[in-house]
Structure formats: structure tokens, C-alpha cells
């Protein structure tokens, strides 16, 4: 509808120029549409990919060397967590003790820049075996990406007495659910507990895996820094990014 200005002449409604539209498409490749659904989701492990291993940090800060074991060492997650719960109970560690250590930890060098690059090209979900009860300090430093993880059961004395999986085999299940929603997924991880996620995704990438894990699963490209990881995401994408 035309509207008169104070001078009496008609003024047509403003429209965006084609050049502005073209610039918008290049700035926001995440939402480009080429006649088909084309949104891709980057699914990342947390520890070892974006932040240091939390339990290694707790081990170093407390001097409890038994807590250094991770899924790189113990493929069975339940066995590993039962081991951790027993150790922290024997040493009297509380949730507050663990959170205090995590509060001093920082994202890995280059992780935030990598996430900033990724956000403009993909939607991001962190698929992790960590726990909501102590993940918030690190999530804050990473800019609060979406996190799917697990829960801890805490008693009235702040002791960690049990862990609760959000869902059995949750990384695989998450990728399957995203596929059913018509999303294409590219996943990156570093350890045994990421293999199901990598195998289920449309493309899987290793980031700094131990040598034995990389050799056991040679189908996944190995990256050792964020530049290489960016290159693999570009290569795996179905879009020109």
C-alpha cells in the first residue's frame, strides 16, 4: 500500500535489493536453500575436543592419580564411572570440590575461535558423557552451545552417589533422531565412546585421538589441530562453505 509523505508525493514501500539478498546468503550459508532441505548439524564431543579432560584436571588438582583414567583408557563407560564414584567416595570429594576444579579450567587453545567459525556454517550440538551438574562453568566459557549429556545424583551432604544416563547409547540415539528429523550430521570426537556417534553420522572425524584408537578405526580422518578440523568439516559438508 502506498503512503503519502508530508510533501504530498507517493512513496513506495522499501524492498531489499538483490545485492543485499545475495550478501545475506553469503553471510549466512547455514540457511541456504537450493530446492531441498540442506541444514547440517555439527555434533561434537566435549572433553578432548573443546575442553581438557575434566577428570584429569581433577586428578592433577587433588593429587588423586587414579582419577586420570578416561574413556580413552576404559572403553566401558559404566565400568569407568563406577571406578570414579568409588574413588571420590574413598577420598571424600564432593560435588563442590569437583566444580571448584572445573571452574579453573579453560577451553583448549583455539576452541572458541573454531566454535565461532562453526556457528556461522552449522547448527551445533555438544554430545557428551559429562554431567549437567558440573558442566556450566565450561559451557559459559564456550558461549553456551546446546549440550546433551547426563545427570549426577547428589545426596544432602553434597556427595556424588550415583550417575544417571540421559539415555543409553545417547550419542548414537541423538544422531539417529536428527536423521529422522531430516538433518544431515557431521560428528567429531576423540575416543572410544565417540565411535557410535561417528559411525552413525553422515561423516565422522577424529580430533587428536590416541594412536591405538585411530589405528583401530582407520575409516575416520584424523585431525591434530583446529585448522585441520575446519578443513575436514568443509570436505564433509554437502554445501560450498
DSSP string of the chain, one letter each residue: --EE-TTS-EEPPP---HHHHHHHHHH-GGG--SSS---EEEEE-SBTTTB--HHHHHHHHHT-GGGG--TTT---HHHHHHHHHHHHHHHT--HHHHHHHHHT--PPTTHHHHHHHHHTTSEEEEEEEEEHHHHHHHHHHTT--EEEEEEEEE-TTS-EEEEE-SSTTHHHHHHHHHHHTT-EEEEEE-SGGGHHHHHHSSEEEEES--HHHHHH-TTSPEE-SHHHHHHHHHHH-SS--
Q: What one-character DSSP code corresponds to residue 11?
A: E
Rg, Å, the chain Cα set: 22
State the binding site for substrate: 53, 84, 128-129, 171, 193
Q: Is residue 175 part of a domain?
A: yes
State the binding site for Mg(2+): 45, 47, 190
- Distance from C-alpha of 70 to C-alpha of 52, rounded to nearest angstrom: 11
How many separate domains does the chain show?
Answer: 1
Q: Which CATH number covers residue 203? A: 3.90.1470.10
- Distance from C-alpha of 214 to C-alpha of 220, rounded to nearest angstrom: 8
- Distance from C-alpha of 225 to C-alpha of 231, rounded to nearest angstrom: 10
Q: Is residue 18 part of a domain?
A: no
Confidence of residue 70 (pLDDT cuts 50, 70, 90): confident
Q: Is residue 12 part of a domain?
A: no
What is residue 72's predicted lDDT score, i.e. its pLDDT? 80
Q: Is residue 77 part of a domain?
A: yes
Q: Is residue 79 part of a domain?
A: yes
Task: At 146, give phi and psi (nearest 5°).
Answer: -65, 130
Q: Is residue 6 part of a domain?
A: no
Q: Is residue 203 part of a domain?
A: yes
What is residue 228's predicted lDDT score, i.e. its pLDDT? 98
In percent, the amount of the chain with pLDDT more than 70 equals: 84
Pairing of strands 10-11, 3-4: antiparallel
Residue 45 annotated among the catalytic residues of the structure:
yes
Range of the domain at 81: 41-236
What is residue 163's predicted lDDT score, i.e. its pLDDT? 94
Give the angle subtended at the CA of 74 by the CAs of 72 and 80, to the nearest 5°: 120
Q: What is the pTM assigned to this prediction?
A: 0.82
Confidence of residue 207 (pLDDT cuts 50, 70, 90): very high
H or E element in which residue 189 lies: strand 184-189
Confidence of residue 15 (pLDDT cuts 50, 70, 90): very low
pLDDT at 11 over 60: no
Residue 47 annotated among the catalytic residues of the structure:
yes
Q: Which of 47, 194, 200, 232 is catalytic?
A: 47
State the binding site: 45, 47, 53, 84, 128-129, 171, 190, 193
For range 195-205, the mean pLDDT: 98
Task: At 187, give phi and psi (nearest 5°).
Answer: -120, 145
Q: Is residue 14 part of a domain?
A: no
Q: What is the pLDDT of residues 74-90, one digit of tens each?
A: 888 899 999 999 999 99
pLDDT at 9 over 70: no
Q: Which of 40, 45, 194, 232 is catalytic?
A: 45
Amino acid at each position: 500500500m502506498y503512503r503519502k509523505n508530508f510533501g504530498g508525493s507517493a512513496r513506495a514501500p522499501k524492498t531489499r535489493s538483490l545485492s543485499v539478498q545475495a550478501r545475506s546468503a553469503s553471510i549466512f550459508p547455514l540457511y541456504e536453500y537450493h530446492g531441498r532441505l540442506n541444514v547440517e548439524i555439527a555434533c561434537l564431543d566435549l572433553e578432548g575436543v573443546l575442553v581438557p579432560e575434566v577428570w584429569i584436571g581433577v586428578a592433577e588438582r587433588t593429587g588423586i592419580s587414579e582419577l586420570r583414567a578416561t574413556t580413552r583408557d576404559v572403553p566401558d563407560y559404566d565400568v569407568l564411572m563406577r571406578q570414579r564414584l568409588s574413588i571420590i567416595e574413598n577420598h571424600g570429594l564432593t560435588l563442590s570440590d569437583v566444580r571448584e576444579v572445573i571452574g579453573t579450567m579453560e577451553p583448549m587453545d583455539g576452541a572458541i575461535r573454531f566454535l565461532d567459525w562453526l556457528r556461522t556454517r552449522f547448527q551445533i550440538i555438544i554430545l557428551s558423557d559429562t554431567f549437567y551438574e558440573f558442566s556450566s562453568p565450561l559451557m559459559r566459557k564456550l558461549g553456551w552451545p546446546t549440550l546433551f549429556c547426563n545427570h549426577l545424583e547428589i545426596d544432602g551432604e553434597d556427595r556424588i552417589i550415583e550417575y544417571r544416563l540421559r539415555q543409553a547409547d545417547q550419542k548414537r540415539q541423538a544422531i539417529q533422531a536428527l536423521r529422522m528429523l531430516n538433518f544431515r550430521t557431521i560428528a567429531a570426537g576423540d575416543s572410544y565412546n565417540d565411535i557410535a556417534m561417528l559411525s552413525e553420522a553422515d561423516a565422522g572425524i577424529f580430533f587428536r585421538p590416541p594412536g591405538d584408537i585411530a589405528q583401530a578405526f582407520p575409516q575416520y580422518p584424523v585431525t591434530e589441530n583446529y585448522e585441520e578440523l575446519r578443513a575436514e568439516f568443509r570436505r564433509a559438508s554437502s554445501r560450498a562453505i
